[in-house]
């Protein structure tokens, strides 16, 4: 069989079309969920988030987040009485694994969140907390 320019162009177009169909089929298999459902409302409320970050910077000592043994330990600044709020464990690759814990610090301002049931990998710990009439926010990446 002799291959001339007409057959070569036809083969090229067929291969191109098959490749495009393959890309479309493959793109349909990906999960395109949004990270949060109300992302637009959260974006509009960013000024409040910025104020929380500024309040956190004004503390004499910052909230400390770190992996300790089989858990993640949070150490609230000295002098902070009865912090309250939420701790969100955020997994960027699968929002189904995200979970939230209420802040329940002991008398020394420490809280340990057990991580034995969590999938190993990269987690972002987001702490949105209040104390003394002010609101604070901190997030930190923790590798489990």
What residue segments make up the domains of the chain, in order of their start?
1-30, 39-143
Cα–Cα separations (whole angstroms), residue 97 to 30, 70, 107: 17, 18, 30
Query: Which DSSP string corresponds to 27-69?
Result: HHTS----SSTTHHHHHHTHHHHHHHHHHHHTSSS--EEEEET
- pLDDT for 12 equals 95
pTM of the model: 0.71
pLDDT at residue 122 tops 80: yes
How many Cβ atoms from other residues are within 10 Å of residue 131's Cβ?
A: 21
What is the fold, at CATH topology level, of the domain defined by 39-143?
Immunoglobulin-like (2.60.40)
For residue 113, the cross-strand partners are 72
Give the integer Cα–Cα distance in Å for 57 and 138: 10
pLDDT in tens, 74-106: 999 888 888 999 999 998 887 788 889 999 988
């Amino acid at each position: 069989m002799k291959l001339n320019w007409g057959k070569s162009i036809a083969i090229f177009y067929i291969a191109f079309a098959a490749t495009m169909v393959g890309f479309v089929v493959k793109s349909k298999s990906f999960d395109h969920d949004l990270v949060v459902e109300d992302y637009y409302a959260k974006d509009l409320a960013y000024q409040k988030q910025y104020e929380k970050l500024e309040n956190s910077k004004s503390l004499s000592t910052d909230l400390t987040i770190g992996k300790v043994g089989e858990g993640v330990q949070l150490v609230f600044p000295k002098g902070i009485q009865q912090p309250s709020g939420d701790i969100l464990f955020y997994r960027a690759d699968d929002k189904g694994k995200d979970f939230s814990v209420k802040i329940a610090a002991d008398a020394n301002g420490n809280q340990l969140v057990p991580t034995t049931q969590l999938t190993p990998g990269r987690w972002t710990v987001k702490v949105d907390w209040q104390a003394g009439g002010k609101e604070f926010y901190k997030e930190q990446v923790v590798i489990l």
